[in-house]
Amino acid sequence: MTRRSVRFLLLSIVGTIVPSVPVFADPPQAGTYVTVPDVLTGPDGELQTAERGLFFVPENRAKRGGRIIPIHFLRFASLDANSKQPPVFLLPGGPGSEWDFNEPDRFRDAQRLRQRRDVVYVSQRGNPKAPNLVPPLYFARGGQALDRPRASDRDRSALRKEVQSVQASWSEKGVDLAGYDIVNIVDDVYELRSALAYDQIILRACSFGSQWSLAYLKRWPATVQRAMLSGVEPLDYAYDSPKWLWASMQRLAESAEADPQFAPLVPPDGLMAALVDVIARLEAKPVEIEFTGPTGNEISITIGAYDLQRELRSSFGETNRERYENWPRFILELYNGDYRYLAVLAWQSRNPSRLPMIELLIDNSLGISAHRDEELLQQREARWLGDINASYRNTRDLTLTPVVDDNFRANQEIAVPVLLVNGDLDWSTPLENAKALLPSLQKGHLVTVTGAGHCPFEELEELMPDAADNLYAFIDADLSGGKDKSFFDELPDEITLPQFAFKRPVGPSLYDEWLAAQHH
400-434 residue pLDDT tens: 999 999 999 999 999 999 999 999 999 999 999 99
Say how far apart CA 404 and CA 182 lie, in whole Å: 8
108 located within any domain: yes
> How many residues does the structure list for the chain?
520
246 located within any domain: no
Contact 202, 88 (CB under 8 A): yes
**Mean pLDDT value of segment 359-387:** 96
Encode burial over 269-278: b for 16+ CB neighbours within 10 A, e otherwise: eebbebbeeb
| pLDDT confidence band for 20 (50 / 70 / 90) | very low
Q: Is the pTM of this model over 0.75?
A: yes
Q: Count CA atoms closer than 13 A to 41's CA, side-chain side.
A: 7
**DSSP structural state of residue 500:** P
9 located within any domain: yes
Q: What is the DSSP string of 44-112?
A: TS-EEEEEEEEEEEES-TTSTT--EEEEEEEEE--SSTT--SPPEEEE--TTT----TTSHHHHHHHHH
Say how far apart CA 256 and CA 270 lie, in whole Å: 10
473 located within any domain: yes
Domain boundary among 188, 206, 224: 206
Q: What is the chain's alpha carbon radius of gyration, rounded to the nearest angstrom?
A: 24
Q: Per-residue pLDDT tens for 440-487?
A: 999 999 999 999 999 999 999 999 999 999 999 999 999 999 999 999
**Mean pLDDT value of segment 148-164:** 95
CA-CA-CA-CA dihedral for 425, 426, 432, 433, to nearest 10: -170
**DSSP structural state of residue 414:** B
The per-residue pLDDT for 317 is: 52
75 located within any domain: yes
244 located within any domain: no
39 located within any domain: yes
Residue 243, amino acid:
K
Give the distance, in angstroms, between the CA of residue 28 and the centroid of all CA atoms in the same chain.
31
**Mean pLDDT value of segment 161-185:** 96
Domain extent for 419: 407-496
Domain count, the chain: 2
- Answer positive or negative: Cα dihedral of 196, 199, 202, 206: positive
68 located within any domain: yes
- Lowest pLDDT segment from 3-17, 67-81, 220-234: 3-17
Which residues, in sequence order, are bridge partners of residue 72? 54
The per-residue pLDDT for 83 is: 86
